[in-house]
Amino acid sequence: MRQFFVSALDVLEVAFVALGLVFIIRTFLVQPFLVQGASMSPNFSDGDYLLVDELSYYIREPKRGEVIVFRFNQGAGEQASNVYYIKRVIGLPGERVEIRDGKIFVYSGGSSDALVLAEDYLPRGRETLVRPGGQTRFTMGEGEYLALGDNRSYSYDSRDWGVVHRDWIVGTARFRLWPPKGLQVFAAPSYQ
């Protein structure tokens, strides 16, 4: 009988440690995310199951080109804080961004020279257009980011509702787990 209790305590101890590790990993390091909709097509599809890295943004700020998951805080109450979006970071704090002629122009540090983003992750010929009533010029303040969907024609994004605040950002998409044929690790593209 004593052996049974010792074994039961060992099992409970292992279970407790395992649950503690799962809690720490899930809360501070990695969070699962299910893509819903086509706003990030063709790079992310409806039903893709991703792992979101929550740790990196405790150490550093988001980079241009990274795909972020954030909690959209427009509106009031519980419903607003539970709506998650996945978009790509285009504009960084302190920058000015203009959308014209189907392209994105980024001005940094008060410079009059613009970086025209070469967005190789978009399908050839896909332009960044603005719907009637949408914004074409953005100036990011401290802790503000411009975030756009890759499916520019059908994405509800910063062109419609403005900048994303740093405290809304949950993390960056790091790994696609599902579907199996789409297994992939993600990194921010280089804009040369």
If one counts every other C-beta atom within 10 angstroms of the C-beta of residue 59, the result is 6
Per DSSP, helices labelled H in 25-118 are: 56-59, 77-81
CATH number at residue 121: 2.10.109.10
Region of 16 please: left (phi>0), alpha (psi -120 to 50) or beta: alpha
Strand pairing class (49-53; 144-148):
unpaired
Q: pLDDT of 20-64, one tens digit each?
A: 555 555 555 567 777 788 888 888 888 888 888 888 888 899 999
In a domain, 42, yes or no: yes
Q: pLDDT of 135-151, one tens digit each?
A: 788 999 999 999 999 88
Active site residues: 39, 87
In a domain, 190, yes or no: no
Q: pLDDT of 158-182, one tens digit each?
A: 888 889 999 899 898 887 887 877 7
Give pTM, 2 decimals. 0.77
Report the distance separating Cα 60 and Cα 57, nearest Å.
5
Q: Residue 190 pLDDT > 80, yes or no?
A: no
In a domain, 164, yes or no: yes
Report the distance separating Cα 107 and Cα 91, nearest Å.
9
In a domain, 191, yes or no: no
In a domain, 79, yes or no: yes
In a domain, 88, yes or no: yes
Structural domain count of the chain:
1
- Domain of residue 135: give its range: 2-185
In a domain, 20, yes or no: yes
In a domain, 150, yes or no: yes
